[in-house]
Structures are given as structure tokens and as C-alpha cells.
Amino acid sequence: PLQRLLAGGTFGIAYKLYHMGSPHFFHLFISILQTTGKIQSIYIGFFVSFQISLLQLDYIYRKEIQMKNKANQLYSKKLSDICYEWLSMERLIVKRSTYAKYQVMIENHIIPCLGNISLGEINSSQINTFVYDKLKKGRLDQAGPLSAKTVRDIYTVLKSILNYAEKEYNLRNFA
């Protein structure tokens, strides 16, 4: 629930932590002021075997905000940047001819169609449209389709790039 509230831009936060009755049950009331000016509130009741101080709560909140900001920066990264990162990693483990083939696929097919899209915007529908377009009019001169094997090879490279982004940056699976 807290992540859902923090999904919009957060401007400020106020919280109160109470324990009533049992020293092991706490009531946490959080009010969040979004950058849109809207105030959202959340209530959390929880049992703990030790008392959580407000400093610990503040530390947890700040860590969550740092992680959210880092994720936003990664999701705004363009696919073309990730393609070149992946390509530089592959250079170390594949033969020169394979690297050249990957480079041609990325520079001639993937980046012109999907390179300007940020990681946060990529979805399976865009990838399916990309594959469909390559099967219908994928040649560089737009005169005709690419072969099914070539499209499959391009898709395999794209999927490897997105898997790299998922593992390297701990992001969701795209394809």
C-alpha cells in the first residue's frame, strides 16, 4: 500500500506511531502530500517484538524513496543505451563475427524502431508490433519482408537485451 501511495511524485510525508494496550502492537498513520497537491493517508497496524523508533521508520522511508528514485532513473533510460551496454558485454564472450552480426541487427533494426523508447514505456504490444512489422516490411529499403529466421534472430537479440536489463538493473520482464 505504501508503494502505491508513493507512486506519484511525493512532496512531503508526516507520520505518527502509537502503541495502545499491548506494547507489541503499533498503529502507524501516514499522510503523504503528493506533488499534485493531493493528500493521501494510510493506516498500518502491526505486531513487533521490539519497539521501532521514529528514526528507524524515517530511515526505512528514505531508503524506499532512494530506491524509487533509482528505479525511475533506470526506467527513463533509453533502450538504445541498454542495447550498447549489452553489446559491450557480449563483445567479451562471443566471436568477432557474432558480435558484428549483433551490431548490425541492433543498429539497423532495433534502435531505429525501438531505440528512443524508455525502459519504463516498453511493453509486449510494442515488441509484437515490431516483430510483425519486420515480417511484413522489415528490409532496410522497405521493399519487402525479412525472412522468418532473420526476424527470429533479431527477436532473440532483443529478448537478450531486455533480459540483460532485467537482471542488471532488477527491472521487470518486458517480453
DSSP of 46-88: EE-SSPPPHHHHHHHHHHHHHHHHHHHHHHTSBHHHHHHHHHH
Q: Does position 89 have pLDDT exceeding 70, yes or no? A: yes
Report the C-alpha gap between 39 and 41 in whole angstroms: 7
Strands (E), the chain: 10-18, 25-34, 39-47
User: What is the predicted pLDDT for the residue at 45?
Assistant: 64
Average pLDDT (114-123) is 86
- Does the pTM surpass 0.85? The reply is no
Contact 124, 175 (CB under 8 A): yes
Greatest Cα pair distance in the chain: 77
pLDDT in tens, 29-59: 666 666 666 666 666 666 554 455 555 666 6
Sheet of 25-34, strands arranged across: 10-18, 25-34, 39-47
To the nearest whole number, what is the mean pLDDT of the chain? 77
pLDDT in tens, 4-16: 444 555 445 565 6
The 3-state DSSP class for residue 98 equals helix
More confident residue, 78 or 76: 78
Closest alpha carbon to 34 in 16, 17, 9, 15: 9
Average pLDDT (97-125) is 92
H or E element that contains 135: helix 124-137
How many other CB atoms are found less than 10 A from the CB of residue 9? 9
User: What is the predicted pLDDT for the residue at 2?
Assistant: 47
Share of the chain above pLDDT 90, in %: 35
User: What is the predicted pLDDT for the residue at 100?
Assistant: 95
